[in-house]
Structure 1
Amino acid sequence: MATIKDIAKKAGVSPATVSRVLNYDQDLSVTDKTKKRVFEAAELLNYQPKKKSQKTAQKIAILTWYNEQEELDDIYYLSIRLGAEKKIQEIGYEPQQFSNQQALPTPPEYVGMIAIGKFSPEQMTMIADTELPTVFVDLNTLDDGFDSVTTNFHYPVKQIVDHFQSVGINDIGMLAGQELTSDQKLELSDQRYLTFRNIMRDRQLLNPNLVRTGNFTVKSGHDMMLEMIDQLDFQLPHAIFAANDALAIGALHALKERNIAVPARVSIIGFNDSTVAKYFSPQLSSVKVDTELMGQKSVELLLDRLETERTVPINLNIGTELILRESSK
Structure 2
Amino acid sequence: MTTFISVFIIPALAVMLDSLLGDPKNMPHPVRLIGKFLDIYEKTARKTHINLRTAGWGAVILFASVVWGVVELVTAIPYVGVLIGLYLAYAGLALGCLIRESRQVVRLLDSGNIIEARTALSMLVSRDTTELDAHGIRRTLAETVSENLNDGFVAPLFYLCLFGPGGLWAYKTVSTMDSMWGYRTERFCDLGRGAAKTDDLLAWLPARITAYLMIFAAGLRGLNMNKAKKKFKADAQKMESPNAGWPMAAAAWLIGGQMGGPTMYFGALKDKPILGPSGKLWDKAMIRALISLCDRTGTIAAWGFIPVLGWLSLAF
TM-score between both structures, scaled by the size of structure 2: 0.31
Q: Specify which structure has the higher proportion of helix.
A: 2
Q: Which has the higher contact order (CA 8 A, sep 6+)?
A: 2
TM-score by length of 1: 0.30
